[in-house]
Amino acid sequence: MDVYIPRDTSREAARQMLTEHAEYGQWELARVRLYPDGSRHVRLRRKIIRVRSTL
């Protein structure tokens, strides 16, 4: 999942948005690209939940 964060978004607002994606959508941060104009391109990936065998 790719998220574009405009340059006028504060760091706190960006953190809050990414935290919500992580908590409720089961996403984790994969990559952040910061552009010279101050905008950010964030790539999120699905968190892999491994199930252990109970045998």
The tens digit of pLDDT for each residue in 4-54 reads 999 999 999 999 998 888 888 888 888 999 999 999 999 988 877 778 877
pLDDT of residue 40: 93
Cα–Cα distances (Å) from 47 to 2, 22, 35, 36, in that order, read: 15, 9, 26, 29
pLDDT of residue 27: 86
pLDDT at 55 over 80: no
Euclidean distance between the first and final Cα of the chain, in Å? 35
**pTM of the predicted model as reported, rounded to 2 decimal places:** 0.70
Burial class (CB in 10 A: 0-12, 13-18, 19+), 42: buried
Q: Which tokens in the block code for residue 24?
A: 């409720």
pLDDT of residue 16: 93
